[in-house]
A and B are shown apart, each in its own frame.
Chain A
Amino acid sequence: MASHTVAKIRGIEAENELVKTLTLDISMPQAAPGQFVMCWLPQFSEEKPFSLSAKSPVRLTVAARGAFSKSLCGLARGQRIWIRGPYGRGFELKGRRILLVGGGYGFAPLRFLAEEAKKRGIAALAVCGARTKSLLLKPAPCETIFTTDDGSAGIAGNVLEGMRRALSRGKFDLVYACGPEKMMEAVAKLAQRHGMRTQLLTERYMKCGIGACGHCCMGEKLVCADGPMFYYEELKKNSEFGKVWRDKAGRKVPL
């Protein structure tokens, strides 16, 4: 037994100026979209959670934002990373016609979802938004509407604009959202006004990843074990969703 699985990087694809997708030489056939893995870089002495953006083979989509993700993005083909997981509650695929709404690199796990929807014959329409063209991710394996805040590509405006465009074509059985929390909240509220439920993918500072330490709490929920996927209804009365996260010491910080 070992705590981590050693995985080799088999391919690296630049999605845009900030985001890379790493393809590993391992598969997780049992993994669901929305689940995450803990990725350990022993040479960097740190471990962070990443949503899966594919399962066979495993793909991780990484935005070079902090020190760790920059190191991860700096790795070359053939180098190894250490993985444990998959963990958490992923998306639940339901219905016959679904809408996926992703902001920034939050679009990555929705591509995995679109892939699974396709396998099951569920019709998916995706909305992929970013601040500007150079931060957009690659499309999902389904029709993808792009939006940019500055209008440099696709529809000018945020993902809600794209979502309205999608809704003008009719109703969906379910909405799936991933991105900044305030964005997801807005998506879920708009969906609700159209009588649709939303599954959304949350994020908090994570330590153990397996429901023991309690660090990733969001109100009474644990993002790692109860989530990261929640139905919006489950979070409507949550005291911290959309409001507060906790830093490395567990201090409350306004979102």
Chain B
Amino acid sequence: MLSVSLCGNRLRNPLILASGVRGNSAELLIRAAREGAGAVTSKSCSLCPREGHSNPTMVADGGIFLNAIGLSNPGVEEEIGEIRRAVRKAGVPVIASIVGFSPEEFGRLAERMEEAKPHMIEADASCPNIEHGGKMFSQSVEDAVAVTKAVRAATSLPFSIKLSPDVPNIGQIAKACVEAGADCITAVNTMGGMLIDPYAKKAVLHNRFGGLSGHALKPIALKSVYSIRKAVGDGVPIIGTGGVACGLDAVEMIMAGATCVGVGTAVALRNGAFRQIAGEMREFMRKEGYRSVSELSLDEG
């Protein structure tokens, strides 16, 4: 009932561990698969190891989550080994996330990562914490296309480009990426935000700004996915990510146009999140008379 296909891979359900959640290590990816994820995405790796920002790197304030981990990761050379082990043992498709600070770096990372034979690559062109000339690659058509072309030239593996919601024209950006060779769109990354502690008179995150996730991100993600689907047409897969914490959230994301659904913050909030969300999806579909995920579509009448 829940199985879907994504870039030539069959997934037992459309729920994908989102990048950045629960780490770079093979064992955490294997665990997410064991806990019911349909596919798993590793935390982004860069060419060199990165320590990331100092703490506080993630805080919760009511239903709001804000993080600026700062892309800490052990570097692509160590990550290749982790991805290779995950591919061997996870039993579900493994998506390796890469993050570069120039299009050339994205190309080199994609080329190196091929060695680990992940099922897909995800190019994190939208981390909101690292400034590249004051903005992210996915905040302009031109930069997003440059990253896409560099990754396309470097690998024959299917790849997705992960976009920021912090733009007025995400549909246009996604369409340009698809035309430049992206096989899939992941939308969205976190939304830029800030929390202030009035007693400390300081921004709470060490980096001051961070990425907003959790429940508050869902309407932003739904609108982004909807806009992307309208722009790219029916054939291009979309991994809809942002604020999905229960089965109904996942159904909504698919109705907005997503092929698969990324689950991030909810993995920390709910024990056994994947199995619970999948169960809730099944229950909804059974009650409402849906037989497959592809039948979940929006009535635009």
Contact = CB atoms under 8 A, between A and B. Distances in A.
Interface of A: 1-4, 6, 38, 40, 42-43, 45-48, 80, 82, 84, 207-215, 217, 219-220, 222, 225, 239, 246-252
Contact of A213 (B49, B62, B69): B69
A38 B60 CA distance: 12
B28 A212 contact: no
A250 B57 contact: no
Nearest to A211: B268
Contact of A6 (B30, B58, B199, B267): B199
B28 A207 contact: no
A220 B78 contact: no
Nearest to A1: B62
A212 B268 contact: yes
B52 interface: yes
B24 A40 contact: no
Given A213-B23, A225-B268, 20 more contacts: A2-B61, A4-B59, A38-B55, A45-B206, A47-B54, A207-B52, A208-B69, A208-B268, A210-B58, A211-B267, A212-B58, A213-B69, A215-B23, A217-B23, A219-B27, A220-B28, A222-B22, A249-B72, A249-B75, A252-B74
B267 A212 contact: yes
Contacts of A211: 22, 267-268
B43 interface: yes
A220 B49 contact: no
Interface residues of B, number: 44
A45 B54 CA distance: 8
Given A248-B51, A249-B52, A213 B57 contact: yes
B291 interface: no
Contacts of A249: 49-52, 72-75
Contacts of B264: 212
A214 B28 CA distance: 8
A239 B25 CA distance: 12
Nearest to A40: B56
A214 B60 CA distance: 16
A17 B193 CA distance: 43
User: Top 10 A-B pairs ranked by shortest CB distance?
Assistant: A214-B23, A47-B55, A42-B200, A214-B22, A208-B58, A3-B59, A212-B268, A248-B51, A220-B27, A211-B268
A26 B109 CA distance: 48
B204 interface: yes
B204 A4 contact: yes
Interface string B37-56: 00000010000011110111
A241 to B, nearest CB: 12
Contacts of A46: 54-55, 206
A215 B206 CA distance: 17
Nearest to A45: B206
Contacts of A214: 21-25, 28, 43
12 contacts: A2-B61, A40-B204, A42-B200, A45-B54, A47-B206, A82-B200, A210-B268, A211-B22, A212-B267, A213-B21, A247-B51, A250-B73
A212 B55 contact: no
A251 B62 contact: no
Contacts of A1: 61-62
B236 interface: no
B31 interface: yes
